Amino acid sequence: MKNIFSRPKSLKKAAFHYCAGCGHSITHRLIAEAIDELGIQDRAIGIPPAGCAVIAYNYFDVDMLEAPHGRGCAVATGMKRVLPDRIIFSYQGDGDLAAIGTAETMHAANRGENITVIFINNAVYGMTGGQMAPTTLLGQVSTTTPPGRSALLDGHPIHLSEILGQLPGTRYIERCAVNSPANITRAKRAIKKAFKCQMDGAGFSLVEILSQCPTNWKMTPVNACRWVTETMAKEFPLGVIKDLKAQAPTS
């Protein structure tokens, strides 16, 4: 009998701790599949964040180095400069990447560090219990915006991927989702492309994933998937934000 579905080699035999319907689990699997298909398990090094994915090193069967909250891109920079032929990816939530780690992210991108960032945008601080994230939508209720996020008091949802797209140092940025089979397929293709970008030495690549957090959104997994398309993707449109892959790298 032909085996057509199994655990990717780059995932350890461990059960995820993520809540039912969580986008982290799906994204982990996609990353592992991409690593397998590109044949880079031996030389990939992951940088997990502080956030719900903090123990990602229990799941990925590749070398991993935990970064302090938000510092993934700086840690990745140090690693990649020392080991230029390894494939370094940081895995970061919206709070991690787009609030506390904004400076590290912007400047790694601006230097054009040849690293790959997987950016999990779930519009909340998942791990700490559902506080407002920099990406929380206007009107969205969180534990620190009980009446809903107010533009006046709390500011607007930040579009970091678009901002990073403005920097000459970035090569490839795409926003995807993992709320439907079609979106999952696209997300996998984007992650693979981002790794390929790094393997070709082309520069900074980032894939933003709109990722369900049913627990803190207080929704069923099915409704959470629906909310991604119907509400979240209206604020954060899916698609390629930047792709200079076709051009030769600048010196």
Ligand X SMILES: Cc1ncc(C[n+]2csc(CCOP(=O)(O)OP(=O)(O)O)c2C)c(N)n1
122 is an interface residue for Mg ion by CB under 5 A:
yes
Residue 133 interface partner, choices ligand X, other proteins, ligand SF4, none, CB cut-off 5-8 Å depending on type = ligand X
CB of 123: closest distance to Mg ion in angstroms?
7
Span of 106-114, 120-128, 146-154, 227-235 interacting with Mg ion by CB under 5 A:
120-128
Q: Is 208 an interacting residue with respect to ligand X (CB under 6 A)? A: no
Q: Which does 156 bind (CB under 5 to 8 A by kind): Mg ion, ligand X, other proteins, none?
A: none
CA–centroid distance for 250 within its chain: 26
- From the CA atom positions of the chain, what is the Rg in Å? 17
Give how many residues touch other proteins by CB under 8 A.
Answer: 39
Contacts with ligand X in 72-101 (CB under 6 A)? 93-96
The CA distance from 58 to 53, in Å, is 10
Q: Which residues pair with 122 in a beta bridge?
A: none
Q: Which of 115, 107, 119, 244 is nearest to 171 (CA)?
A: 244
The residue with tokens 């620190």 is 144
Q: Which does 64 bind (CB under 5 to 8 A by kind): other proteins, ligand SF4, Mg ion, none?
A: other proteins
Going edge to edge, which strands form the sheet with 204-210?
44-47, 87-93, 116-121, 204-210, 170-177, 239-243
Q: For residue 84, what is the DSSP state?
A: T
Closer residue to ligand X, CB minimum distance, 202 or 207: 207
Q: Which of 80, 37, 73 is nearest to 201 (CA)?
A: 80
Residue 64 in contact with other proteins, rule: CB under 8 A: yes
Residues 21-60 within binding reach of ligand X (CB under 6 A)? 50-53
Write b or e for each residue in 159-181: b if 16 or more Cβ atoms lie within 10 A of its Cβ, otherwise e. bbbebbbebebbbbbbbbbbbee
Rounded to a whole number of angstroms, the minimum distance from the CB of residue 60 to ligand X is 16
Q: Residues in the site for ligand X, rule: CB under 6 A?
A: 50-53, 69, 93-96, 120, 122, 124-128, 133
Binding residues for other proteins, rule: CB under 8 A, are 12, 41-45, 47-48, 50, 54-55, 57, 60-68, 71, 74-83, 86-87, 103-104, 106-107, 111
